[in-house]
Copies of this chain bind each other. A is one copy, B any other.
Amino acid sequence: MDVKTVCLGMLTDGPASGYDLKKNFESTFGHFFAAGYGSIYPALSSLSKQGFVSCEQIAQEGKPDRKVYQITEEGRQFLLKALENTSPCHKIRSEFLATMCFAHLMQGEAIEAVLDYRLEEIAKYREMFRQLEAESMSDWEEGEKFVLGFGKAIATAMEKYITENRHLLTEEPVAKTAAV
């Protein structure tokens, strides 16, 4: 599943512009599927060429025309087919964990800084989740609630693990008893 398909999925919720979708990518989808304008706009124009979305151009003063996209019946069919894939992946690409693998090559302060930064990032996600719940959760589909809960559960687990185990990385290793 690529950015195109996710855009199509977002449009099942109602017509939207590329700009609108970007906000979705930043909020609801932000923690597990990132995308920038450089992916979104080309995706929409490609979907349009394929006939999976229709586009209504709304003139505006001072701003570029607002292009509001709507999913078509063919688009909906295509999306449903895409969702039939029963083995979607879940990939992690973590420079954080890679760095921690080489912690023994780093200075204690640097390790602490990396761990603190990670905790801050998690806290940001937490805050985002909190706001989403407060603001707009009432009209969500169950799926979206499930995904939000998933994000929260993982955030909690990461936070807990890091705070409980960071000492392993930063404490001076106990003098090893001489081998043999």
Q: A-side interface residues toward B, CB under 8 Å?
A: 1, 5-6, 9, 12, 28-29, 31-34, 79-80, 83-106, 110, 113-114, 117-118, 121, 141-147, 149-150, 153-154, 156-158, 160-162, 165, 168-169, 173
Contact = CB atoms under 8 A, between A and B. Distances in A.
Taking the full assembly, how many copies of this chain does it contain? 2
Secondary structure type dominating chain A contacts: helix
Nearest to A104: B141
A88 B98 contact: yes
Contacts of A121: 90
28 contacts: A9-B98, A9-B105, A12-B105, A29-B101, A31-B92, A32-B98, A33-B97, A79-B105, A83-B99, A83-B105, A85-B95, A86-B113, A88-B114, A89-B94, A90-B92, A90-B96, A91-B94, A92-B93, A101-B147, A103-B142, A103-B143, A142-B173, A145-B168, A146-B168, A150-B161, A154-B154, A154-B157, A157-B157
